[in-house]
A and B are shown apart, each in its own frame.
Chain A
Amino acid sequence: MYFPLQDIEAAKLNVDDPDHLRIHSLETFGTHDGPGIRMVVFVQGCQFRCVYCQNPDTLDVKGGTLVAIDELVKRAIRQKGFFGKDGGVTVSGGEPLLQRSKLKTFFIKLHEVGINTCLDTNGRLNNEEVHELLEHTDLILLDVKHINDEWHHKLTGLTNKNTLALAEYRESTGKPMWLRYVLVPGWTDQEEYVEEWARHFKDYKTVQRVEILPFHQYGKHKWESLGMNYVLKDLESPTEEVKQRTLNIFSKYLNNVVLK
């Protein structure tokens, strides 16, 4: 474990300062986390410990800045003209579900002013509060990091059961979902598991799009500046061949698979 899990602090994150979100940063011109042009709120705090994490600076649940939800809504309104018919606000992270009850407030306020809401999550939690949040979430981007629970543990430090359960729950609501898969050589590119992953979701009706995100080293300097041990520091990005192979396997079972 390269960073303490901070269970108590993580629990407080959801209840303390109900009018504020703890965020890492804001991106005003996001085009990679959901459809159209989006304001992306990167929240602070995550309890997954992914070996390939690109944003290790968002892990610490005590880090970041508290920003008033109303201020974020105001910012979103100033950008509304750029959202067009597809865009809106995405909350990414970090792990948004750690601040689920506050995000519900945020999303309700966004809906009041006609702004589309999108949640980019690893599905760490699957409870009543999360379900309430999903009611106000127009689109969920669910990151299913590995289909095999043992590998999921190795990769993230935690089980994939909650994530899969959350996918099932979303499917039951009939509301739209995109799935995401980070392709990491030696960790998530095993043909049999890729196949299993795709098969798992083949009958899902709510999955509108599946994104394969090839591993890259752009997060490396963040690990270095945080002085943390980065086990994948010498890992190469997946080869064209592996990317194509994964795309082909996914496409056997799923529609609208996109290699990013």
Chain B
Amino acid sequence: MEIDVNVISFEPGVWNSAINVYDFVVKNIRPYTGDASFLSGPSAKTQRVWSEVKKALLQERANNGCLAIDTETISTITAFRPGYINKEDEVIVGLQTNQLLKRAMKPFGGIKLVESAVKERGLKVSDRVVDIFNYARNHNEGVFNAYDAEVRAFRSKHVLTGLPDNYARGRIIGDYRRVALYGTERLIQGKKEDFNAVGGEMTEHKVRLREEINQQIVALKDMTAMAAEYGFDISRPAANAVEAVQWLYFSYLAAVKQQDGAAMSLGNVASFLDIYIERDLQAGSITEEEAQEMIDQFVMKLRLVRHLRPGSYDEIFGGDPTWVTEAIGGLLHDGRTKVTRTSFRFLQTLYNLGPSPEPNLTVLWSKDLPEGFKKFCAQVSIDTSSIQYENDDLMRPNRGSDDYGIACCVSYQEIGKSIQHFGARANLPKALLIALNEGKEEKDGASVIKGIPALPEGPLDYYRVWDLFKRTLSELARVYAKAMFIIHYMHDKYYYESAQMAVVDTDPHIDIAYGAAGISIIADSLSAIKYAKVTPVRNEKGLTVDFEIEGEYPKYGNDDDRVDNIAKEVTNYFIGELRKHQTYKNSTPTLSLLTITSNVMYGTNTGATPDGRKAGESFAPGANPMHGRDSSGAIASLNSVAKLEYSDAQDGISNTFSMIPKSLGSNREEQITNLVATMDGYFGQMAHHLNVNVLNRETLIDAYNHPENYPQLTIRVSGYAVNFVRLSRAHQLEVIARTFHGSLS
């Protein structure tokens, strides 16, 4: 089939003379303000490929979550010959290895970790690869050569956790659109120009930059070679929609062949691809079904991204996530929406291929999004619980760009202009316990921070505790900043993301994304100390083992300023302290209130806290109130979280919100309207992020079996509400049987 690309030409602009995808998008985007009625189901080809994939996914699950590992090859962009699922039906091709779901070794992050992951599966890394690392160094080795006793202590005592010092840091988003718009040849030329511009007296920075640029050029050449093996010439720009999707995917595929970063987001590609799709539709060269087919098959590939992980990794990031995050929607600075038909097509994949956590579809919510899109998002949430929402009206003006993606889970990142260095997390409740224990870790009494005086016996004094806690946080910030400097220095040195950086501006701005866990425990603990009477119970070593609380105290999650302001104040203080320290490559400190799934692990490793939480009990996830303590209803809970200042936590304030369909309204139409109103209400007060779970029968069954995980699950019955876990077992079963007849799932 021959396609004349010049039949309908794109609107020209700065993008023709410089690498500037944004300009191309702004000039050519076709916002769509209609509803979802135009969408197509899956094509026959898609269904055939997907049915092969489903078989493989079942085998993977049956095989304890890992289908196969290649133990002979170090994964690079050009490692592995082409892999297919069902070649004749694949509209978009490319796998990370030569076989569906086979995992590859990426040992430059840390060979030890790869060896243990392989060993856990009863296999062995080949002698050849082991031998290579008798000579070559890796990130993990470098980091530990530079760590000092202080960092090691913070790390081993679980004050700083999940540090990317033995695995890839991830978080960087390449502007994968560039390969489609320009082709690799033009990008290589641009990088060569950048290299030549690094002149004058040499500095360490310039030398490093020159080396990096050349690594990027090599990556672009490798990308070209990889695509050529699949039979495509990506050195030139994509000529039509299917090529644009394919080119873009090759660029992303190169990234996930080279790196196994914890989170490797896709960016905001939907509306870029839409420009090509619209042009082809207009030219009559494709149908809507074919347009959907490209997106379905692309998304299918994104669902198949796999990395080799050891069991220990699962504690922090449960469920084998890859965070292929795609940001959909939002507005342009000029007031037009970025919602296009392809924004709908991406969401439609959740119907065509069924619900899925990946790609991590993130809707950039604005009060001014088209109604039809808002409703479709709400509908998809209700049907699949698979999408999350972030506040475009907050991030766009506050951070400055209207061309951004979401790095990892919740973090703003301007595409192609700026990157992030992942900073893992600090355990704030642990820090509080250190403050209450003369600078010692509460479990075995090892000294972690010097110069923290002992507290007098008896009930805790709020102002004294606050003072000691601040001193602890200052020290924590100092050590944390030091650890991150070392980690990112070494990561660049030994495990540089050349494939991703090849599609990012040379020498971009960098955010260093610090994180904090347990904000709700801190707020409640300090509130308890201030408003109730809290007396530590100490063991023979003088270490706190429990706390006696007399009286009531306001709890975070009930829209009560007395405690909500404590959460704000602590966040503000901590980021203030982090900002005082030097950062690698002069990156800008940001902070997240986010835990992923590690809230359970943090809990396990943290002793009893002054809020009444017992030793080992899980933290609440992200910035959520502690389980069961937000007893004033859903809106009060949302209002509390909404008060946290985004300017103090620009890396993201994560809130996970679960409802059952029935509590949203008695029919689908009402549920959709009410979920839209919920989002408008939450984001209207400049809240940042919301995970929306509209739970289905499976969840209720889980709640039946594990009621401890669902303290707030509420069901509306006509005229009143009841707490699900307080109904009798027989009633719960009845509700499980009744709620889902016909209408949903």
- Residues of A in contact with B (beta carbons under 8 Å apart): 26-33, 36-37, 39, 42, 54-55, 78-79, 81-84, 86-87, 92, 120, 182, 211, 213-214, 216-221, 258, 260
23 cross-chain CB contacts under 8 A = A28-B634, A28-B635, A31-B665, A31-B671, A32-B716, A36-B674, A37-B635, A37-B681, A78-B636, A81-B684, A82-B678, A83-B677, A84-B680, A120-B719, A182-B718, A216-B717, A217-B731, A217-B734, A218-B715, A218-B720, A218-B731, A258-B666, A260-B718
Task: Determine the distance from Cα of A191 to Cα of B721 in the docked complex, in whole angstroms.
Answer: 30
Q: A29-B633, A78-B559 are in contact. Are A219 and B678 (CB under 8 A)?
A: no
Chain B residues within 8 Å of A78, by CB? 559, 635-636, 639
Size of the chain B interface, CB-CB below 8 angstroms = 38
Q: Which residue of B lies closest to A217 (CB)?
A: B731
B718 near A37 (CB under 8 angstroms)?
no
How many angstroms from the CA of A42 to the CA of B720 in the assembled complex? 9
A210 CB to nearest chain B CB (Å) = 13
Contact for B635 among A29, A33, A221, A258, CB less than 8 A: A29
Interface residue ranges of B616-649 to A (CB < 8 Å): 632-636, 638-639
B719 touches A213 (CB 8 A): yes
Q: With A and B bound together, what is the CA distance between A29 and B664 in angstroms?
A: 8
The 5 A-B pairs at the shortest CB distance, nearest first, are namely: A28-B633, A82-B681, A84-B677, A213-B718, A29-B634
B545-567 at interface with A (beta carbon < 8 Å):
559
**Which residues in B have their C-beta under 8 angstroms from that of A83?**
677, 681
User: What CA separation (Å) do A202 and B467 show in the bound complex?
Assistant: 71
Q: In the complex, A214→B718 CA distance in Å?
A: 8
Q: CA–CA, A217 to B734, complex, Å?
A: 10
Given contacts A27-B633, A29-B634, A182-B718, contact A221 B727 (CB under 8 A): yes
Q: How far is the CA of A81 from the CA of B681 in the complex (A)?
A: 4
Whether the pair A258, B682 counts as a contact (CB closer than 8 A) is: no
CB-based contact B718/A32 at 8 Å:
yes
Q: How far is the CA of A237 from the CA of B465 in the complex (A)?
A: 57
* Smallest Cβ-Cβ distance to B677: which chain A residue: A84
With a cutoff of 8 Å between Cβ atoms, the chain B residues found around residue A54 in the complex are 717-720
Residues in B neighbouring A86, C-beta threshold 8 A: 673, 677
Residue of A nearest to B730 (CB): A217
How far in angstroms is the closest Cβ of chain A from B635? 4
Besides A28-B636, A83-B677, A219-B717, 4 other CB < 8 A contacts? A28-B632, A32-B716, A213-B718, A258-B666
Known: A31-B663, A31-B665, A37-B678. Is A216-B718 also a contact (CB below 8 A)? Answer: yes
Whether B120 sits at the interface, judged by CB under 8 Å, is: no
Interface of A is mostly: mixed
B58: Cβ under 8 A from any A Cβ:
no
Minimum CB–CB distance for A241 against chain B, Å: 14
- B86 interfacial contact with A, CB 8 Å: no
Considering only CB atoms, which chain A residue lies closest to B719 in the complex?
A54
A33–B717 alpha-carbon span in the complex (Å):
10
- Rounded to whole Å, the gap between the CB of B720 and the closest CB of chain A is 5
Q: Please, how many angstroms separate the alpha-carbon atoms of A92 and B721 in the complex?
A: 12
Contact A32/B677 with A55-B719, A78-B559, A221-B728 known, Cβ cut-off 8 Å: no
Instruction: Please judge, given known A-B contacts A78-B639, A82-B682, A258-B667, whether A31 and B674 are in contact too, CB under 8 Å.
Output: yes
A residues less than 8 Å from B719 (CB atoms): 32-33, 54-55, 92, 120, 213
CA distance A260 to B718 in the complex (A): 8
A172 to B681, CA, bound (A): 36
Instruction: Find chain A residues with CB under 8 A from B636 CB.
Output: 28, 78
Residues of A within 8 A of B681 (CB): 37, 79, 81-84
Chain B proximity of A253: nearest CB distance (Å):
22
- In the complex, residue of chain A having the shortest beta-carbon distance to the beta carbon of B681: A82
CB–CB A260/B632 < 8 A: no
Taking a contact as CB atoms under 8 Å apart, the answer to whether A82 and B635 are in contact is: yes
The answer to whether A31 touches B670 (Cβ under 8 A) is yes
Whether B639 contacts A31 by the Cβ 8 Å rule is no
Which residues of B, 688-715, contact A by the 8 Å Cβ criterion?
715
> A26, A39, A79, A221: which has the most chain B beta carbons within 10 Å?
A79
- Which of B663, B665, B680, B717: most chain A CB closer than 10 A? B717
> Are the C-beta atoms of A81 and B718 separated by less than 8 Å?
no
Residue B685 CB within 8 A of the other chain: yes
B722 in contact (CB, < 8 A): yes
**Please, which residues of chain A bring their CB within 8 A of the CB of B715?**
218
Minimum C-beta distance from A216 to chain B (A) = 6
Q: Is the CB of A37 within 8 A of B633?
A: no
Given contacts A81-B685, A82-B681, A258-B666, contact A36 B673 (CB under 8 A): yes
CB distance from A254 to the nearest CB of B (A): 17
A33 (CB) vs chain B CBs: closest residue: B719
Q: Which residues of B contact A30 (CB under 8 A)?
A: 716, 721
- Which chain A positions have C-beta within 8 A of B728? 221
Nearest chain B CB to A94's CB is how many angstroms away?
A: 11
Chain A residue contacts of B680, Cβ below 8 A: 81-82, 84
Report the nearest A residue to B636, measured CB to CB: A28
In the assembled complex, the CB of B684 is this many whole angstroms from the nearest CB of chain A, namely 5
Q: List, in ascending order, chain B residues with CB within 8 A of A28's CB.
A: 632-636
Minimal beta-carbon separation of B686 from chain A (angstroms): 11
* Given the contacts A32-B719, A55-B720, A216-B718, A26 and B633 also touching, CB distance less than 8 Å: yes
Task: Tell me the bound Cα distance from A36 to B677 in angstroms.
Answer: 8
